[in-house]
Structure 1
Amino acid sequence: MIKNIFLFIYCFLFYSLKILAQTDAFSGSWQMEYSTAAMASPIKLELQIGVSQRNILYPAHIKLECDSFFAEYDLLLAKKNSRELGISKNKFPRFQKPFGLKEGSFFLTGSFDLSKDLKGMPVLNFLRIDSKQPAAIPTIGVINDSARLTAKIKNFLKEEDISLKKITSIPWHSVNSDCILEPALSPTYFGLRDTIYLPTRDGIINFSGVKKRKNDRVSVTLNGQVVLEKIDIEKKNQQSDILLSPGLNILTFFADNFGNDLPNISRMNLEFGNKKFALDFANRKDSAATFIVVKLVCDPDKSKERYFVENTNPGEEKLLKKDEKLVGSIISGTKILTFAIWDEVIDDGDSVSIKINNEWLVRGCPVKKTPRFITVTLKPGPNTIVFLADNLGSIPPNTSVLEIIDGKRRKSYEMESNPGEKNLIKIFYETEPGLK
């Protein structure tokens, strides 16, 4: 009997220690208070970090309080290395009272660095992203109590040391936490792209940027492991081979600094077989962001089930006119398709017109946050979709997302264009396997 009791205690301690050893160092709640002699009340900041996806992506929540102001924001954190978590550009406001900070949350841009204080207790220190021209605090026209409080909070986020102490290791969880990790469900764009299905595990990555700007540095991680660290994109021959794991992979592109000017405008080009795409900090929605994340799946059989087959015709782009740009080319085994059109960034008054085989499909279609669905009928063989920007909206250029759906497979294209430019999508309708 006594032997069994000791065996039970031994097993209990063994598994308890094992669970504690597996506890994520980042997940849990972190808090701090900031005050000065001139402040009537302190600024209270709490960061809640949820259960990670593969120890790489962390849904998170911020509570910010000072005097009469109280707000809560959702955000995404991405692991840069064993100590650092990059902070998403967007912080979605769940609650703000009695006013909103608007662009003020942008100042919380950079990363959280894990270390220990003098007592050996874990702390997260906020590291602002390196920039020779830091963002200025927006001027406030009317001076009143709300304006003063807003300026005080923004100045705290922009200038002061932010160091958070861990108060609990219980991960944050709410009805919203899981949505942050799913682009289709998240309330805003957190830097996480839709999943891309690839035909091969072997790939090549290289970098490009505007030549007049120098000193922009970037890093790349794959499945939480550093692939390239703080490389200068202006140096020649910045190319690297990359090998994916079978199944799901998480690739993260980090902006290490804002170089000589804000923002970092580096572009990472990726090529896997006949599949080419890019992650670009010059895009409006990723401008001044700390990271861009994309999930990559290398499972050819699954890809055929869920993703349209790419259609490659060597030399096809040489036949295009000066004002035409080939965005993509796919093969469809379905005659009837659905087009979904929306703007995932902001509703700024953009409108578009679309032709199929030189006939108008829609004209002057407003691009809203809510998708508009259009039924499209293909003819056998090649079909040409022409996507035209009608205007520039209030924020140039004209931006939208066009997603092609056949009920099982889908393919989305991000469109950026100006009036007079034509974005082309080629769809080959294959009526019988092997027809092409």
Structure 2
Amino acid sequence: MVGVMGLPETVSAQSQWTGTWSMSYKPWPHIPAIDMTLRIAEPTAGMLYPAKLELTHAHLFKGEYELLFVKKNDGQLGIGRNKYPLIEEPFGLGPWMMYLNGVLEHQQAGADGEKLVLKRLWLDNFGIFMWGLYDNEFYTNTKVFLRDFLYRTDVVLQRTDSKPWVHPHTQRIVNTDTIYYGVYDPIKSERDILSLAIQDEERYDRDTVTIVHNGRMLADRLPLEQAMSLDSIVLDSGENYLAFFADNYGDLPPNTADFLIGTGGDSGQLYGFDFSDRSNAYSTVMVARFQYEPAPPVMPEPSEPSVPLPSRDPDEPTDTAGYAEPTSPRETPVYTKGRRNQRIGQLKVGTEQVILELSDEQVEDGDVISLEVNGAVIADGMEVTRQGKRFGVTLKRGRNRIVFRAENLGRIPPNTAVLLVYTDGEQRKFHLSTDFERNNVLDIVFHP
């Protein structure tokens, strides 16, 4: 029988990654080889694999780097953007290590054994290609050789042993102290459901993303224009690792997805995990960490047993001072299903006046929405059209809540629209998706 990615069933999905992998690259007989060795530790939560990368070029260069791999699926590990240099002699490679961004794909190579094959996310037309090449002309030839290896050479690592890498730094890599390897600081949540919204920080250019929660795939190569189909994440008790993968860099590199996660309710906090942030630029993966502990059950207070009223003889006179006959049947309470608020983002602005523009970016299908600002109705039952409509809004100091409510589902559910916010001389774009169970909410924080 065959297990994951063609591995024998005796090999677990976890042990297929751990151990030591290596390769040697020597295109010409007269040039010393470049040797690469990768040591992978046991994972945390079956997802996060600390690792050490060693790169040597004879006596001309030596580098050792700590980095993090994140399991994307049964056959691929996402490569963390930041490779922290422990040793770099006699010069540093700086941003060139980003040429190794992408995924490592596990392959069973028959008689040749197991392989890890690098699948790069290319940094086409990006300005780091020549950075640092001529800082010291003495090392120029060595740098060219190393740079070309990192940038374009096929990286295929063969397994040399299965013993996991063990080092005290492995927990530091996973738990991120002063060095960011791709895992954010832990966030405590009092609720077991997180709200999720995904925005494209630039424009829809065919960026796609994959989302994995504690080893379970929530979304696989999801285009950002369809991202509103995800609106919540149910947490496990204890530690929760949410891994966000950039599958590609779209038509306009890099991938600019921004994941907005709320910890629930109006009092909850909103957290952003943004591929556009400088620390994640041209990254392959970033990991959010949420901690949820269910509250202990509250035992009900013991109640006094109810004593039934004695039955009354209809011929017996009524003591009207101590008893009143009900005048109407007991009313049955009616419960109306409410709509939850799904936060789509938060803006911080320095001007009191902003302009909101609502339009239909795709097919006009008769969507009708209402718009409230801080509880005041600004538009009631407005049809969303391609031409769009603008509203000027005066903000109060602090947080201003903009609520978008669907009045119908149009001909093509759900109710969708595009919101442009003009403020501080800039334009921000948000995509709305509402129905009879959820509103969209945008918070604008005004601090002059």
Partners of 1:318 and 1:126 lie apart in 2 by 38
> What corresponds to 2:101 in structure 1?
109
Would you say 1:156 and 2:149 are equivalent positions? Answer: yes
Partners of 1:175 and 1:163 lie apart in 2 by 28
Partners of 1:177 and 1:263 lie apart in 2 by 29
User: 1:287-436 to 2 correspondence within 5 Å?
Assistant: 287-299=281-293, 301=295, 322=351
Partners of 2:191 and 2:208 lie apart in 1 by 28
Q: Deviations over 1:16-37 (max 9, x none)?
A: x999758621111000001112
Match of 1:201 among 188, 192, 196: 192
Q: 1:55 to 1:319 in 2, by over 3 A?
A: closer
Question: The residue matched to 2:262 in structure 1 has which SS?
Answer: strand
Partners of 1:323 and 1:96 lie apart in 2 by 51
Report deviation, 1:73.
0.4
Would you say 1:37 and 2:28 are equivalent positions? Answer: yes
Question: The residue matched to 2:110 in structure 1 has which SS?
Answer: coil
Match of 1:179 among 152, 172, 175: 172
Q: 1:182 to 1:318 in 2, by over 3 A?
A: closer
Report deviation, 1:203.
2.7
> What corresponds to 1:340 in structure 2?
none
- Does the 8 Å CA contact 1:133/1:261 hold for their aligned counterparts? no
Counterpart residue identity of residue 277, structure 1 = Y
Q: 1:130 to 1:65 in 2, by over 3 A?
A: closer
User: 1:11-90 to 2 correspondence within 5 Å?
Assistant: 21=12, 24-37=15-28, 40-67=31-58, 68-90=60-82
Q: 1:322 to 1:165 in 2, by over 3 A?
A: same
- Does the 8 Å CA contact 2:102/2:119 hold for their aligned counterparts? yes
> What corresponds to 1:168 in structure 2?
161
- Does the 8 Å CA contact 1:89/1:106 hold for their aligned counterparts? yes
Partners of 1:92 and 1:42 lie apart in 2 by 23
Q: Over the residues paired in the alignment, what is the CA RMSD in angstroms?
A: 3.4
Would you say 1:286 and 2:284 are equivalent positions? Answer: no
Partners of 1:254 and 1:21 lie apart in 2 by 23
Q: 1:323 to 1:175 in 2, by over 3 A?
A: farther
Partners of 2:12 and 2:203 lie apart in 1 by 49
Report deviation, 1:228.
0.4
Partners of 2:247 and 2:97 lie apart in 1 by 19
Q: 1:135 to 1:229 in 2, by over 3 A?
A: farther
What TM-score, normalized to structure 1?
0.62
Partners of 2:195 and 2:257 lie apart in 1 by 16
Partners of 2:10 and 2:108 lie apart in 1 by 21
Q: Which runs of 5+ in 2 are unaligned?
A: 1-7, 297-345, 354-397, 399-444
Partners of 1:320 and 1:98 lie apart in 2 by 47
Q: 1:53 to 1:40 in 2, by over 3 A?
A: same
> What corresponds to 2:113 in structure 1?
121
Counterpart residue identity of residue 244, structure 1 = L
Partners of 1:422 and 1:39 lie apart in 2 by 65
Question: The residue matched to 1:261 in structure 2 has which SS?
Answer: coil
- Does the 8 Å CA contact 1:219/1:256 hold for their aligned counterparts? yes
- Does the 8 Å CA contact 2:260/2:271 hold for their aligned counterparts? yes
Q: 1:301 to 1:423 in 2, by over 3 A?
A: farther
**Which 4+ stretches in 1 moved above 6 angstroms?**
17-20, 317-321, 421-424
State the identity as a percent.
24
What TM-score, normalized to structure 2?
0.61
Question: The residue matched to 2:73 in structure 1 has which SS?
Answer: coil
Q: Deviations over 1:310-348 (max 9, x none)?
A: xxxxxxx99997379xxxxxxxxxxxxxxxxxxxxxxxx
Partners of 1:18 and 1:239 lie apart in 2 by 34
Report deviation, 1:268.
1.4
Partners of 2:35 and 2:447 lie apart in 1 by 49
Counterpart residue identity of residue 150, structure 1 = K
Counterpart residue identity of residue 254, structure 2 = P
Report deviation, 1:122.
1.1
Counterpart residue identity of residue 108, structure 2 = K
Counterpart residue identity of residue 287, structure 2 = V
- Does the 8 Å CA contact 1:111/1:128 hold for their aligned counterparts? yes
> What corresponds to 1:100 in structure 2?
92
